[in-house]
Structure 1
Amino acid sequence: MKKTNARWLVVALLFVATTINYMDRAILGVAGPAMMEDLSLTPVQFGLLGSAFFWSYALMQIPVGMIVDRLGARLTYSIAIVWWSLCTIFTGFGRSLGALIGIRVLMGIGEAPAFPTNTRVISDWLPSHERGIANGIFNSGTAIGIGMSTPLLAWVIQNWGWQAAFVVVGAIGFIWLAFWLIYFKNQPKDSTLANEAEVAYIKADESETEKAPALNISPFKLLKFKNVYPLLYGLFAHNYLTYLMMTWLPIYLVTERDMNLINAGFFTMLPWIMSFFGNILGGFLSDGLIKRGWNSIKARKTILGIGMLFPLLLIPTIFAESAVMAIVYISIAIGGEGIAAGILWATVSDVAPKGAEGKLAGLQNFIGNLAGWIAPVATGVLVAKLNNFDIALIIPVIICLVASVGYLFVLKNERISIDEDFGKGIKA
């Protein structure tokens, strides 16, 4: 019997959901100039608004895995996308800073299950040797959601106002929900789209890691291992750069580079297109090194270390006289850092103790998203105090440079191991 390919339809649904997820996050940055003018928001107030989403989003990362396991991916994603889509729509009706902050905090709760649910779906629906490609596909939706939508959103804002843009983007989630409920089941065996041959193919090569029993330990106990820290800090560094650009890049181009909103929307797209290809290239390069016989952690940390050096290109951005050259430097910086972004999560699977991959992933996502608390606000404060973006652009350069050093010289080429008696067997 020839196997079906329903698993790739599921991956496509995850890609679209991730794209919508990041569109709903990124629209705040595109609408920023109009919102700041209409609501008389200062840079510091807008930075606070940009940060509010991450207050709840980061805190939810630890418990959200248990929610996914209890409710199942189908119901969890359904509730999540309805929740965050409604919050996006309601943002368009906010008229005070306090109301908008409250809506963004609620939105962070709604979006928190997205990536843990994606990971669970990939685990259930893809054989182990196809999961790298599948993760790369759905994760590329982050770059598409941030970048590709900006010209269209800028056009909507220019013609219909910033409130309409939030309503339009929020409505898209309900369209996706219909396809999700029609086509997705939690397990391949329950789907009418996957035949017996495909179900057998998916389950045929479960990895040793999957067969390992889950470790019943607190994620915070993993902090006893030195190999954990480069991973936690590395995602923090990646997110600091990402969330700074997601929140402030359109405003930077409008205020610092004197672009109109339509042009800013178009040029904002370019760095994220580069990031899309960087994500794919990073996975390709690290897999290529592994095929050449490299230790998997050594291969991935080498690419991570190289990718984290590209934000150095933000320094000549400060001195670029033309807006075009500034966006060229920013595009190379974000695209090159995307080489690292593409394998951040694959490295967790290589380093984590067997049976604790999910716990380390949740801990990494919690620490990494604390950058969302800091980057938007810190940038707003610096812009307000200095009346330019110079120092705000130098900070992610330093943060990412430290991450590169951590990957290359601190992260060891071995999986963390835990003895049966956790208190007696610790290997760092």
Structure 2
Amino acid sequence: MAVTSRVIQTDKATKKRFIVGLLLFLGVIINYMDRSNLALAAPVIGVDLNLDSVQMGLIFSAFGWSYAILQIPGGLIVDKVKPRILYAIMLGGWSIATCLQSLVNGFSAFLGLRVILGIFEAPSYPTNNRVVTSWFPEQERATSTAFYTSGQYVGIAFFTPLLVYIQNAFGWRGMIFITGVIGVIYSIVWYLMYRDPKDSKANEAELNYIRQGGGIVDMDGKQNVRKASWSQLKYVLKNRNIWGVFIAQFCLSSILWFFLTWFPTYLVQYRGMGFIKMGFLASLPFLAAYVGILFSGFISDYLIKRGHSIGFARKVPIVSGLILATSIIGANYVDDQTAVIAFMALAFFGNGLASITWVFVSALAPSHLLGLTGGIFNFMGNLSAIAVPIIIGFLAKGGSFEPALVFISSLALIGALSYIFIVGKVERIVVPEE
């Protein structure tokens, strides 16, 4: 009996995939701290470097120029280079660019370094998606995607007050430098700890569990590149579902980029909040978004386990979240600062609820075009990183922020309609052999 017990224990599946999920979560926290630290410092930087709202809008959007343009090349790289190496290079590169931002004294230098930041961050989310697709079965994929994506909210929610305190103590330069150093350190941690499933300490029972659930454990980057072709990609891009997801992702990302760029400035300059108060209150919508995305992943995977289709289970939280996000327009009709934050928190909760959209890439993309399809998906979404900061800068130039919030609310509605009327049955696209 004792011998049998030991055999059963040996055959029990390991849980190494959850450590991988934690590594992705921490990487996303650092990713978004380095994207959003500029937003916290913007009111001070604008005064210190004598920059107007249009110039700040251009600096905010500069990251998006390179980030969006390089999504497709980045997707090709993701299909070719193993995540262990690629993620470490990306983290180190964008973190060094962040550190260098603390040294600039003018518009052009800031613009250039934000472009460099976008270059190194470009393959990050396609890499995250590849890691999740290879490490997690379908019935756990929404939860795992929600968990790592929640890092973009939880890091800002919990660290915004701390970063504002650091800025008050060491200035905006010190705050930006510190966030960059953290990323350099974590690039080393990632390289030392991450392995692909077949190279990891996950036992065969866990690998079989992932395989049987649709996880692509045996993904081989070099093999994928040999199989892929542009004619096959063109076939994928003819798919109606893909375009419905692309359109909605632009709208969803637009809401996020408002909060990552103009939101602190809106509270300070247009709602009259002090920096310390802004630091605490600005974290509340991010906390709401964090709750929203965790709830989204849980309910979506629960619906899968209850026998609902993948399309229904994934669309329910996404469409509901985008409809909730339209409530951001309510801030135009209240004067009380608490009410303003309440509307912002409700809207960003909706954004979080809708932010499991990467599961559609995992479900729709052919396995050998996973990185490339993910790159195009992220390209479409992050066109908003270019457009939204500039558009808001112009809309707010007259001294009123109300048109900007109408703009964001309208995009949320368009995103919901795209999932309702364009995205149909969700199944992996099978490309014809050449």
Structure-1-length-normalised TM-score: 0.90
Report deviation, 1:353. Answer: 5.2
Q: Is the 8 A contact 1:353 1:415 kept in 2?
A: no
Match of 1:47 among 36, 52, 57: 57
Q: Report the Cα distance in structure 1 between the residues aligned to 2:218 and 2:83, rounded to whole angstroms.
A: 21
What CA distance in whole angstroms lies between the structure 2 residues aligned with 1:327 and 1:334? 10
Aligned CA distance change for structure 1 residues 203 and 297 (closer, same or farther; 3 Å)? closer
Match of 2:6 in 1: none
Counterpart Cα distance in 1 of 2:191 and 2:216: 31
2: CA distance between counterparts of 1:390 and 1:421?
A: 52
1:32 aligned residue: 42
2:413 paired residue among 370, 376, 401: 401
Name which of structure 1's ranges 279-288 and 57-66 shifts more when overlaid on structure 2.
279-288
* Distance (whole Å) between structure 1 residues aligned to residue 229 and residue 21 of structure 2: 30
* C-alpha distance in structure 1 between counterparts of 2:79 and 2:70, whole Å: 14
Distance 2:323 2:210 in 1: 39
Whether 2:276 is the aligned partner of 1:266: answer: no
1:346-398: CA deviation from partner (whole Å, max 9, x where unpaired): 123334456544433221111110000011111111111x2021000110111
Partner Cα separation in structure 1 for residue 215 and residue 150 of structure 2: 27
- Asked if structure 2 preserves the Cα contact closer than 8 Å seen for 1:125 and 1:202, the reply is no
Q: Which amino acid aligns with 1:226?
A: R
Tell me which residue corresponds to 1:205.
212
Alpha-carbon distance between aligned partners in 1 of 2:207 and 2:306, rounded to the nearest angstrom: 30
Specify which of 140, 144, 152 is matched with residue 130 of structure 1.
Answer: 140
Whether the 8 Å contact between 1:302 and 1:408 is mirrored in structure 2 is no
CA distance in 2, matches of 1:419, 1:254: 51
Amino acid at match of 1:412: G
1:344 paired residue among 336, 353, 357 = 357
Q: Which residues of 2 match residues 286-325 of structure 1 at below 5 A?
A: 286-325=300-339
* Partner amino acid, structure 1, of 2:417: V
Aligned to 2:159: 149
- Amino acid corresponding to residue 399 of structure 1 in structure 2: L
Change (3 A) 1:171 1:416: closer
1:94 to 81, 87, 104: 104
Give runs of aligned pairs for residues 15-414 of structure 1, distance below 5 A.
15-185=25-195, 187-191=196-200, 194=201, 196-197=203-204, 200-201=207-208, 204-205=211-212, 207=214, 216-217=229-230, 219-341=233-355, 343-352=356-365, 356-384=369-397, 386-414=398-426
| Structure 1 stretches of at least 4 aligned residues deviating more than 6 Å after TM superposition | 208-213
- Partners of 2:21 and 2:318 in 1: CA distance: 25
Distance 1:383 1:241 in 2: 16
One-letter code of the match for 2:191? L
1:373 counterpart SS class? helix
Q: Deviations over 1:195-235 (max 9, x none)?
A: 53566446542628889986534545433222222201111
Q: Give me the whole-angstrom Cα distance separating, in 2, the residues matched to 1:294 and 1:129.
A: 11
3-state SS of 2:425 partner: coil
Kept in 2: contact 1:5–1:198 (CA 8 A): no
Report the AA paired with residue 380 of structure 2: I
1:419 offset after TM fit, Å? 5.8
SS of 2:282's equivalent in the other structure is helix
Distance 1:209 1:125 in 2: 7
**Which one-letter code corresponds to 2:392 in the other structure?**
T
Tell me: CA distance 1:222–1:250, structure 2 relative to 1, closer, same or farther (3 Å): same
Instruction: Tell me the distance in 1 between the aligned counterparts of 2:45 and 2:55.
Output: 11
2:3 is matched with none
Q: Distance in 1 between matches of 2:418 and 2:105?
A: 44
The Cα shift of 1:111 comes to: 0.9
Letter in 2 for 1:196: N
Shift of 1:280: 1.6
Q: What secondary structure does 1:308 align onto?
A: helix
Aligned length: 417
C-alpha deviation, 1:74, in angstroms:
1.4
Q: What is the CA-CA distance between 1:319 and the residue it aligns to?
A: 1.4
Match of 2:16 among 6, 26, 30: 6
Deviates more, 1:291-300 or 1:38-47: 291-300
Consecutive unaligned residues in structure 2, runs of 5 or more: 1-9
Tell me how far apart the structure 2 counterparts of residues 328 and 91 of structure 1 sit (CA, whole Å): 33
CA distance, structure 1, for counterparts of residue 205 and residue 93 of structure 2: 33
Q: CA RMSD in A?
A: 2.4
Q: Quote the offset at 1:237 in angstroms.
A: 0.4
Change in Cα spacing, 1:69 to 1:394, as seen in structure 2 (3 Å) is: same
Offset of 1:31 from its aligned partner?
0.3
Unaligned 5+ residue runs, structure 1? Answer: 423-428
Contact kept? 1:78, 1:177, Cα under 8 Å = yes
Residues 26 and 145, structure 1, Cα contact 8 Å, conserved in 2: no
Task: Using the TM superposition, name which of 394-403 and 130-139 deviates more.
Answer: 130-139
* Distance in 2 between residues matched to 1:419 and 1:163, nearest whole Å: 50
**2:71 and 2:378 in contact (8 A); partners too:** yes
Q: What amino acid is aligned across from residue 327 of structure 1 in structure 2? A: I
Deviations 1:139-192, CA, capped at 9 Å, x for gaps:
11111233322111111111211111111100101221232233223x34434x
Q: What is the deviation of 1:5?
A: 3.1
Distance in structure 1 (CA, Å) of the matches to 2:17 and 2:215: 22
